[in-house]
Structure 1
Amino acid sequence: MTKFSFNQAVPFEATHVGEVIKDELAARNMKQSELSELTGIQKSILNDVIKGKRSLTPEMALLLENALDISATFLMNIQTQYELDCAKQSERVVLQTKMLEIWNVLKEQVSTQFFRKVGIIKGNLIEDVNRIFEVFGVDNLDDFFGLKAKEMELSYYYRKSEKVTTNPVDILSWKYYCYYLSKNDESLLGIFEKNRVYSLTKELNNVFKENSGTVKKTGKVLNRYGIRFMVVKKVGQVPVDGMSFWMGNHPTIVVTERISSIDNFAFTILHEVGHVYSHLTKDGKAMINMFDEKKDSEEYEADNFALNAVVPNADWKKFLARTRDVVPYKIAPYIKEEADKYEVNPQILFGRYKHDIGIYRIRNYFNSRIL
């Protein structure tokens, strides 16, 4: 991608060679008139050079070399550097003005708060604009608005829920930040194969059951199966749990830091695994998992995949039927027995139980924290 070129080493103020001559005269306690007599340079011309109003010529540099025993090359190098610095300062003003105009438009289109939180925006206007363009994979505002127009056609990302506020700017920013991270991810990945989904879910359930170094081990398992895995900061107040998408030759699964319990973490991972193996295609749309009343068929399918991956739905319904007369506050032993039967983490089944009976304030009998 074309990047803006700017040398951050440009001095705040360019130093004219006249400053060097002035310092030499002061050190030698010599007057300008004396130097004029020694060199034959007119006093008015010499005064203009010292004040920075006139450029030093090669002829004057040679005369000064003889009079002050200062290399003419050294003096001319200072003059040349001064002229370069002035040119760069002029370039900087033009570039800064241009970037400010772009920034004033861009800051209304992206989540500057989120980008500042994750270190994309660092306080240098020129570099910040450049990095934001890099996140979105564009070179200019026209390309950015073209990309945004395509995203708006995907109404899924801009749907409204009656329970939560979904900010399109936040979602767009978070989504492309995840793309950016995936592009730059250097994890060693295995070969992704569609027929390995059963063995993958079995390994993941083992990780969830053990619940020790869970996030790191989840990533290692997914990587071995050819799936990138990332945990990314949540964006604003939008309740995003996860997302899956194709990047290059591999799928990527992302979860947010807002997930704090092992049952929610496991469900989100398995939900996205369902998308990876059933719905994702190269160059196809990403799947964003948000809390929302409105779900399409693909989201329901991913939900069912996640639930079946722990305990088959038919078996779970039998369990609920067997325990329908058990008081919810005494369900823990039955949950533990069922979890042992399927070799899964009991908290995952406990979270599912609370969801299915619609009672969430039951005291946790099992460890819910992600360890």
Structure 2
Amino acid sequence: METSNIVPFRPTHPGEVLKDEILFRGISKKDFADRIGMKPSNLSRLLRGDTDITIALAEKLEKALDIPASFWLRMQSTYNSDCQIIAERDIQEQKAIHEEKVLSDILNLKVLFNRLNIKKICFVQERLKQLKSIIGCNPLDVVKYQTSIYGTFKKSSTATDEKNMRSWLLLAYLATKKDIPTFEYVEGNAEKAALAICNIVHSTTFGEKDIKRILNKYGISYSIVEKLEKTPIDGFSAWINKYPSIVVTHRYNDMSRLVFDVLHELGHIAKHLHKDKDIIFISNGETISSMDNIEKEANRFAEEHLIADDKWMSLMQRSIKGLYSNNIVAALRKGAKELGLNPNIVLWRYRYETYNYALHSIKTTPIK
């Protein structure tokens, strides 16, 4: 017979079982005390679990109840063992509670447990054990790594929750570890991936699955991690293990913007991550208009790949200044068609460059 390794939440003293047994048999405590030659006060202490069952007492119980002495002794031994294990568990639980408190000051554990499907009803030490198993290390180690490079990001001036930002970064890190590209990344693949994406953007009906397929072909991980509250993140790029990774949030349900965000992150991979693989880049609404040289380089990479400079200049040289919104849209659509460009991409870039995001007569294409 196998020995169970399950430890009860509370140990069961054999006195509790004895109390139920004499109650079931309809024996009064006084009569039972007389049967086993014990003072009623001592029997009460035994039934409360304040005293142990000895060999001599177990033999008396066997004679009085016809229940083997070995049963009572085994129950007492199990109770003693459970008490020791539970005492150690309680010590470890207190340590885990302290550790969780430290983590809760820097991470949104409620969100993490929910996103990672970790049940909150279990012991704290069990929750942390599951979290560490999923992450592959102590969560504090990842947070320290994030903190050490946090200053390299372009921070947003909009309301930002630092705990949610760290939590999202942790979720992004886990997603990139899971979404391992099938093919190996080699120098120059970010450029090739950008060209391939832009080719399908302007020539065919495409979806996000096509972007993921192309990135995978060139050894680049692609993941979607929905944003958390007060985390103004559109895109993320980093070097994870042996491959570069891109993570998007779908903060805006706009296919054209998604394409630009992906190309922007490819710009970071092509121009910046190969120099320093410990940097994390985060893109948000302000990144588009950032004056930071690194962000400007990534923006420029996206712009020139998305629409060639000569074609864009041709569009901008057309007589669209001073036109009403509807006429601007019509002129850009016509020019895009003549140049073999995706009108939605052209209109998005026009709004991006002119900051005219409220341009009328434009229906954004949802991410598909």
Among 308, 311, 315, which residue is 1:315 paired with? 311
Distance across 2 between alignment mates of 1:144 and 1:225: 27
Could you say which residue in structure 1 is the equivalent of 2:365?
A: 368
1:322 counterpart SS class: coil
- In the other structure, the counterpart of 1:262 is 255
Does 1:172 pair with 2:163? Answer: no
The answer as to 2:358 corresponding to 1:355 is no
Match of 2:148 in 1: 150
For structure 1, the residue ranges without an aligned partner over 5 or more in a row are 1-7
| Structure 1 position 300, deviation (Å) | 1.2
Where does residue 3 of structure 1 map in the other structure? none
**Within the alignment, does 1:192 sit opposite 2:185 as a pair?**
yes
CA contact (8 A) 2:320 2:331 kept: no
CA distance in 2, matches of 1:211, 1:364: 21
Residue 224 of structure 1 is aligned with which of 214, 217, 224?
217
Quote the residue 1:285 is aligned against. Answer: 279
1:71 — aligned with what? 68
Change in 2 beyond 3 A, CA 1:324/1:15: same
**1:87 matches 2:84:** yes
Say whether residues 1:23 and 2:20 are aligned partners.
yes
**Cα 1:321–1:171 shift into 2, 3 Å:** same
Q: 1:115 to 1:193 in 2, by over 3 A?
A: same
Going from structure 1 to structure 2, the CA distance change for 1:283 and 1:165 (only over 3 Å counts) comes to same
Query: What's the CA shift for 1:357?
Result: 3.2
Map 1:8-157 → 2, pairs under 5 A? 10-32=7-29, 34-35=31-32, 39=36, 45-112=42-109, 114-115=111-112, 118-119=115-116, 122-123=119-120, 125-130=124-129, 139=138, 146-147=144-145, 150-151=148-149, 154-157=150-153
- Equivalence for 1:4: none
Q: Deviations over 1:319-362 (max 9, x none)?
A: 20134457242244543455446655321111111222342222
For the 8 Å contact 1:36–1:42, the answer to whether it is kept is yes
Task: State the match for 1:329 in structure 2.
Answer: 326
Give the direction of change, closer, same or farther, for the CA distance of 1:357–1:238 in structure 2 (3 Å limit). same
Residues 175 and 225, structure 2, Cα contact 8 Å, conserved in 1: no
Q: Which moved more, 1:359-368 or 1:315-324?
A: 359-368
TM-fit CA distance, 1:254: 0.4
Instruction: Give the TM-score normalised by the residue count of structure 2.
Output: 0.81
Q: Deviations over 1:62-98 (max 9, x none)?
A: 4423432323333333323323333344334433433
* 2:289 aligned with 1:296: no
- Select between 230-239 and 128-137 the one with higher mean Cα deviation: 128-137
Q: How many residue pairs were aligned?
A: 358
- Structure 2 unaligned blocks of 5 or more: none
For residue 302 of structure 2, the aligned residue among 306, 318, 334 is 306
Hey, what's the Cα distance between the residues in 1 that align with 2:106 and 2:192? 43
Matched residues in 1 for 2:291 and 2:97: separation?
41
Amino acid at match of 2:20: D
SS at match of 2:245: strand
Q: Which amino acid aligns with 1:297?
A: N
- 1:194-215 CA-to-partner distances (Å, cap 9, x unmatched) read 3344542344235545556x23
- How far residue 38 of structure 1 moved from its aligned partner, in angstroms, is 5.1
Give a deviation string over 1:160-218, Cα, whole Å, max 9, x none. Answer: 63xx23444443332233113322x0555222233344542344235545556x23332
CA distance in 1, matches of 2:263, 2:87: 56
* Alignment counterpart, residue 234 of structure 1, candidates 227, 231, 234: 227
Report the Cα distance in structure 1 between the residues aligned to 2:195 and 2:335, rounded to whole angstroms: 16
Instruction: Tell whether the 8 Å contact from 2:235 to 2:282 is kept in structure 1 after alignment.
Output: yes
Q: Deviations over 1:137-173 (max 9, x none)?
A: 65486x577546523xx52337463xx2344444333
SS where residue 356 of structure 2 aligns? Answer: coil
- TM-score, with length taken from structure 1: 0.80
Q: Secondary structure at the match of 2:317?
A: helix
Q: 1:208 to 1:126 in 2, by over 3 A?
A: farther
